[in-house]
Amino acid sequence: MSPWKRGIVYALLALMAGFAVFFSLTVFSQTSLRLDEAQSLFQTNRDLGGMVHLIAQDVHVPFYHTLLHFWQLIFGADIFTARMLSLVFFAGTILLTYYLATYAFGRRSIGLFAALLVTISPFMNWYGSEARMYTMLSFMAVLHAIFYIKILRASSTSSWILWTVTAILGLYTHYFFVFVLLAELVAMVLLKRHFADRKPIRNIIIAGAIAGLSLVPWLLYVYSLGFASNTQPALSEPSAGDLFDTYAQFIFGFQTSSINTVIISMWPVAVLLAFFTLQKSNKKIPPETTVFVLLATLPVLCAFLISVTIRPFYLSRYLIVALPALFIFIAWLASRYRKRVALLVRIGLVAMVGVLFVIQVTSPNTPVKEDYRETVEYLTENADSSDVIVLAAPFTIYPVEYYYKGTAKLTTQPIWDRFSAGSVPAFDEATVKQQTEANVSSYQKAWLVLSYDQGYNDKLKKYYDDHYQKLGERKFSPGLVVYEYQIRYDPKVTIE
Amino acid sequence: MEFLKSVQVSRLLLLLNVTLSIAYFVCVVWLFPIGNPILFAFLVASEIFHVWQVIGYIHTIWPRKRKRSFDARFQPHVAVFITVCGEPADIIEATVIAAKAMRYPHFSVYLLNDGKVANRKNWQEAEIIAQRQGIRCITRTEPGGAKAGNINHTLRLTVEPYIVVFDADHIPKPEFLIETMGYFVDEKMGFVQSPQYYKNYELNQVAGGSWEQQALFFGPLLKGKDTVNATFMCGTNMVIRRSALDEVGGMSEQSIAEDFLTSLLIHNKKWKSTYVDKVLAEGLAPEDFLSYYKQQFRWARGSLEILFAYNPLFQRGLTWAQRLQYIASASFYLSGLVVLLNALLPLVYFFGAVKPLTINTMTLALIFLPYIFVVLYTLQHTSNFTYTFRALSFSLGSFTIYLKALWFTIIRHKSGFAVTSKKRVSGNHGRLVTPHLVYIGLVVAGIAWGVMREGWSASMLSNIAWAFIYIAAFSPFIAAAFERERKPVEVLA
């Protein structure tokens, strides 16, 4: 490649990374703290031992939190700074995706288009500015896949070592990284004869076992704490719609249900696109394609099947491990069409994603938006020391507490002492009366803040509606509503 | 030739095809809640057909090896029959010259002239060519039996123990006999077939579409059939042992797909067949839509007739693999009915809000997409990625032809043998795609009707997507019907 062409490629990559940084700094990082982020800060704003103890009681592994802990020590403990760590991994994912796709298919155009898809993905942009481990997870998935493709091409000890190291780091970033290893194992079985390594399956089992064993100390520690899940939200069993919704979210972001319906109901068109991709072409299908197909589908399918058959833990953000592979696969698919068609497909897809990106940013109904900041501003302005703020679900106390500097008392329902060991208490209809009275009876007004419905918000609201006078309500973002109730009618006592 | 290239197929992939198609079928028939019972019955019928097609295809391409004897020194006398029925003189003469130039010690070339009995104005041209080329021309004066009758007539006038048949436009290569005759060293070898290759496939949409459809047949399908001794004759570019033909009373005159039926009868007498996967002759595809229509109708009618009148299932001389292969080939033309039923489902939903299953569209997608992706990939992989969207369009768009053939077969309407024109038949053939155009009109009206009724619901959107797929699939077929005459291009022989 000539120097000026290389320069153009680098400039384009810099532009992409710049796009991500620009939108993060100007749009996404300016949004309200979200529940999960508040939890991250709650966990990392303490000493290392305490942090690890808390994470072990949560549903995650400690690598990201440890990094964030030191990141905050160096750069500052506020949410904006915490989000910048995710942005670093987002930008890194863009660059590594380019490298991986180009390396795998030998064509820079595929690499650039895959990187562009990652850049403009509303899903990636969202998590690129969230103080959670998701962009780090996608980064690890791409980094790890690079060494896998290296092993496919030429067997070398260094590649195996790096594969194992990145596998360990991946497993310590998120439990779902195990699905990446599974997809790679399946790809290896299917592509055995394509591997330069003579005994790839034996080696991957050994290297995978080493990576798996490295997680054992952590699992034993978690086990010693009784697998207590301190803040685990109740997840419902996923439906087939959720499965397709995951891919729709990867590509088109978080959209309102009406837009989502349009997107995922058009699935039959995928049959036509698949046929176009597979029809007469001089370009052979390289074995790497199988790797990306499996990396893009198997983690999602495994999570779905386990969630349906054993225990629900299906969340699209956990499956971000599949996203870079999906985009690389799409970029390769587009390269299979005839030049003019390929250009049209690329432009069409980018335009569509672009429009939906804007909708995700601007629409107040974007489902993942959590405006706790504005909620708290409203409460600070309207609630005073004679009032109580009741939060359900209980773990939503984290983001509210982060912002709230007012004088009203903060409590949760079900009542939860989060500083004592054990998980969030379950909702018990028989104790609603007793707990509500304990929470509100000595206050003038109760501000019931309902979000993250764990299946009982309606019941709780009904109890309040039936027993107290509702003075007003206000919705701040999808699923986040504040209800104002008059509890007592005795005149306020002012102490001068 | 890409379509003849060998492709390594994983048995695991083939088994996955069968598993997924059966799983999809089981879900549709037993697990999903039923909506309208009549539509459900239609859906089940079409799904049975699809599963059957998948199983038939997988059986055909299943990797297996067949031992065939071949001795290049085996060089008996051969009669080369070039069947003629009013084709242009230049086309016939080119074939005669090429036939005479074949590298082989003992053979005679005959022109089998049916131009007179078919009342073609140029029927005498064949005799002039024969005279000029120093070969024998046998002109029939008594009609009957169409092409099969023509061959049988000459069989009675000749004695060579092996017969080669070429259509007038199929120009053999010099090595044709050298590459085929050696297989007859096996005394039970009844006939040998080689591919029909259309050298004019780039001429226009019709020629292109016809060839791309043929590529699948002469690629993985016939190669697969060969492995279970189920290759059948394709009317041209074939060699037949006279004694095998004699045993079944010559070429069958009972069917307009005489080659297909004769193959079945020969196999039924325990003769073997083989397919030589090398292009040994080059012919011409139909160049206009009407000729394509007639050719497809003849093949469909002949095949369906065999299914009903000579059902391979009950032919005791056939092996089970041969029965399955014959039924798979003949039953392909039932796809006309299946395409119609499937294409009508969105329309029925638009106008009546009824559907065969009341399952959530995404659940259906969850089961359907893996199945269809794997099937499409396998189809393309095994055909070396030569099966084009245009070929798919011609197969789906021909549903009206197949339906007409099915109807004529059921009511036993008599259809004559129509020779595929070797020159473009001019004129507008748009009327032949009227049903497709009506379908598009109904879809547009149906969408308007449906949206007024229920808005852009998930079911509406999915049905719109399905209707869009059918319209997209019919489009190249419709375009071919309206294609204007292009300036003829020079085709390299």
| Closest by Cβ to A268, choosing from B456, B460, B465 | B465
Specify the pLDDT at position B491: 40
B321 touches chain A (CB under 8 A): no
Categorize the per-residue pLDDT at B200 as very low, low, confident or very high, splitting at 50, 70 and 90: confident
Please report the number of interchain residue pairs, chain A to chain B, with beta-carbon separation below 8 angstroms. Answer: 81
| Chain B residues whose beta carbon lies within 8 Å of the beta carbon of residue A261 | 456-458, 461
Q: Do A279 and B456 touch (CB under 8 A)?
A: no
As a whole number of angstroms, the distance between CA B253 and CA B151 comes to: 10
pLDDT band at A458 (very low <50, low <70, confident <90, very high): very high
Cα–Cα distance, B364 to B418 (Å, whole number): 44
8 Å CB contact of B386 and A280: yes
Q: Are A77 and A187 members of one domain?
A: yes
So what's the pLDDT on residue A227? 61
**Is residue B493 predicted with pLDDT exceeding 50?**
no
CB contact under 8 A, A243 and B366: yes
| A438 Cβ under 8 Å from any chain B Cβ | no
Query: What pLDDT sits at residue B492?
Result: 38
B482 at A interface, C-beta within 8 A = no
- Quick one: average pLDDT of A464-474? 94
Which chain A residue's Cα is nearest to B378? Answer: A278
Compare CB distances from B466 to A240, A268, A279 and report the shortest one's residue.
Answer: A268
Check residue B330 and give its pLDDT: 94
Mean pLDDT confidence for B346-364: 91
SS3 B106: coil
Whether residue A387 lies inside any domain: the answer is yes
Neighboring chain A residues of B386 at a CB cutoff of 8 Å: 280
Do A251 and A127 share a structural domain? yes
Query: Closest partner residue to A280 among B362, B365, B385, by Cβ?
Result: B385
Statement: residue A28 has pLDDT above 90: no
Q: Do A306 and A400 belong to one domain?
A: no
A79/A198 same-domain check: yes
| Chain A residues close to B362, C-beta within 8 Å | 239-241, 243-244, 264, 267
Instruction: Give chain A positions within 8 Å (CB) of B462.
Output: 265-268
CA distance A288 to A187: 9
Closest CA to B9 of B352, B271, B370, B379: B379
Q: Which residues of A touch B456 (CB under 8 A)?
A: 261-262
Element (H, E) at B26: helix B11-26
Tally of domains in chain A: 2
- Whether A494 is in a domain gets the answer no
Q: What is the pLDDT of residues B30-48, one digit of tens each?
A: 999 999 999 999 999 999 9
* A81 is a domain residue: yes
Residue B410 has pLDDT above 60, yes or no: yes
Q: What is the pLDDT of residues A146-155, one digit of tens each?
A: 999 999 888 7
Beta-bridge mates of residue A484:
A447, A472
B157 close to B110: Cβ distance less than 8 angstroms: no
**Of A190, A267, A274, which is closest to B376 when you measure between CB atoms?**
A274
pLDDT level of residue A240 (50, 70, 90 thresholds)? confident
Torsion angles phi and psi, residue A480, rounded to 5: -120, 105
Residue A266 lies in a domain: yes
Nearest to B1 by CA among B248, B263, B213, B277: B277
Q: Is the pLDDT of residue B413 over 70?
A: yes
Please indicate whether, in this complex, the C-beta atoms of B462 and A266 are within 8 angstroms of each other.
Answer: yes
Tell me the average pLDDT across B10-20: 93
Regarding predicted confidence, which is higher, A289 or A279?
Answer: A289
Contact B369 A266 (CB under 8 A): no
Helical packing angle, B335-352 and B37-61, nearest 10°: 150
Residue A265, pLDDT > 70, answer yes
Cβ-Cβ contacts under 8 Å, A275 against chain B: 376, 389, 392
CA distance A209 to chain B (A): 27
Closest by CA position to B460, among listed B349, B377, B363: B349
Using CA atoms, how far apart are residues B442 and B346, in angstroms rounded to an integer? 10
What integer pLDDT is reported at residue B415 of this predicted model? 67
Q: How many residues does chain A have?
A: 496
Edge-first strand order for the sheet with A445-450 is A409-412, A387-392, A445-450, A480-486, A469-477
**Residues from chain A contacting residue B369 (CB–CB below 8 Å):** 267, 270-271
A274 interfaces chain B, CB cutoff of 8 Å? yes
pLDDT at B438 over 50: yes
How deeply is A171 buried, as exposed, middle or buried, from its count of CB atoms within 10 A (0-12, 13-18, 19+)? buried
Q: From A341, A362, A383, give the residue that closes a domain.
A: A362
> What are the chain A neighbours of B389 within 8 Å (beta carbons)?
275-276, 279
Put simply, the chain B residues between 371 and 390 with a CB less than 8 A from any chain A CB are: 372-373, 376-377, 380, 385-389
Is B467 in the A-facing interface, judged by CB distances under 8 Å? no
For the segment A265-275, the average pLDDT, to the nearest whole number, is 85
* Residue span of the structural domain in which A462 resides: 372-486
Rounded distance between C-alpha atoms, residue A25 and residue A128, angstroms = 10
Residue A169's pLDDT is: 97
Beta carbons of B362 and A272 less than 8 Å apart: no
What are the pLDDT digits (tens) for B57-76?
Answer: 999 999 998 899 999 999 99
Residues A337 and A423 both lie in one domain: no
Cβ <8 Å between B365 and A267: yes
Ranges of each domain in chain B: 2-63+332-481, 78-286
CB-nearest partner of B462 from A265, A272, A280: A265
To the nearest whole number, what is the mean pLDDT of chain B?
A: 91
**Residue A289: its chain B contacts at CB < 8 A?**
none
Tokens 């006398």 correspond to: B77
A271 close to B (CB below 8 A): yes
What's the rounded mean pLDDT across residues A438-461? 93
Asked if pLDDT for residue B290 goes beyond 80, the answer is: yes
SS3 category, B189: strand
Choose from A242, A256, A261, A285 for mutation: most chain B CBs within 10 A.
A261
Q: Are residues A277 and A316 in the same domain?
A: yes
Which chain B residues touch A274 with a CB distance below 8 Å?
A: 372-373, 376
Q: Which of B376, B459, B466 sits opposite A275 (nearest CB)?
A: B376
The answer, for B393 touching chain A at a CB cutoff of 8 Å, is: no
Closest-CA residue of chain B to A191:
B10
Contact A261 B386 (CB under 8 A): no
Instruction: In whole angstroms, give the CA distance from residue B115 to residue B140.
Output: 8
- Asked which of A362, A396, A418 is the last residue of a domain, the reply is A362
pLDDT digits (tens, 9 = 90+) for A387-409: 999 999 898 999 999 999 999 99
Last residue of a domain, one of A323, A342, A362: A362
- Domain presence at residue A495: no
CB contact under 8 A, A279 and B377: no
Mean pLDDT of B226-232: 95
Nearest alpha-carbon partner for B356 in B48, B37, B30: B37
Give the model's confidence band at A495: pLDDT under 50 very low, under 70 low, under 90 confident, else very high.
Answer: low
The number of beta carbons lying within 10 Å of the beta carbon of residue B18 is: 16
Helix (H) or strand (E) holding B327: helix B320-331
- Say yes or no for a CB contact (<8 Å) between A239 and B363: yes
The helix-helix angle for B37-61 and B11-26 (nearest 10°) equals 170
Q: Are residues A142 and A193 in the same domain?
A: yes
- The two three-digit tokens of residue B39, written as one number: 């539509």
**Confidence bin at B423 (pLDDT 50/70/90):** low
What pLDDT does A192 receive? 83
Q: Residue A229 above 60 pLDDT?
A: no
A357 vs B4 pLDDT, higher one? A357
Average pLDDT, chain A: 91
Asked if A274's CB is within 8 angstroms of B380's CB, the reply is no
- The tokens describing A280, both together, are 């007469």
* DSSP codes of every residue in B223-240: HHHHHTT-----SSSEEE
The mean pLDDT of B365-390, rounded to a whole number, is: 89
Of the candidates B369, B461, B466, the beta carbon closest to that of A261 is on: B461
CB B406 within 8 A of CB B136: no
CA distance A357 to chain B (A): 22
pLDDT at A283: 65
**Range of weakest confidence among A119-128, B436-445, B479-488:** B479-488
Contact state of B377 with A278 under an 8 Å Cβ cutoff: yes
Give the residue carrying structure tokens 């049988």: B152
Chain A CA closest to residue B375: A275
| B461 part of contact set with chain A, CB < 8 Å | yes
pLDDT category of residue A422 using cuts at 50, 70 and 90: low
Residue B489 in this model has a pLDDT that exceeds 50: no
Please check whether residues A262 and A410 belong to one and the same domain: no
Residue A276 contacts B, CB cutoff 8 Å: yes
Assess whether pLDDT exceeds 90 at residue B418.
Answer: no
The answer to whether A243 contacts B461, with C-beta atoms less than 8 Å apart, is: no
CB contact under 8 A, A240 and B363: yes
CA distance A136 to A89: 5
CB atoms within 10 A of CB A462: 11
Looking at domain B78-286, its CATH class is alpha beta
Residue A267 at interface with chain B, using a CB cutoff of 8 Å: yes
Q: What is the mean pLDDT of residues B302-313?
A: 90
Sign, CA dihedral A223-A224-A227-A232, equals negative
Residue B458 touches partner A, C-beta closer than 8 Å = yes
CA terminus-to-terminus distance, chain A: 80
Whole-model pTM: value is 0.82
Asked whether the beta carbons of residue A267 and residue B468 sit closer than 8 angstroms, the reply is no
Q: Where does the pLDDT of residue A54 fall: very low under 50, low under 70, confident under 90, or very high at 90 and above?
A: confident
Q: Report which listed range, A19-33, A271-285, A414-428, is most confident.
A: A19-33
Residue A493 within a domain = no
Asked if B159 reaches chain A (Cβ–Cβ under 8 Å), the answer is no
Between A320-324, A464-468, B115-119, the lowest mean confidence (pLDDT) is in B115-119
Mutate to test the interface with B, among A190, A263, A278, A305 (most CBs of B within 10 A): A278
Residue of A nearest to B362 (CA): A241
From CA A119, how far away is CA A101, in angstroms rounded?
14
The secondary element (H helix, E strand) that includes residue B273 is strand B272-275
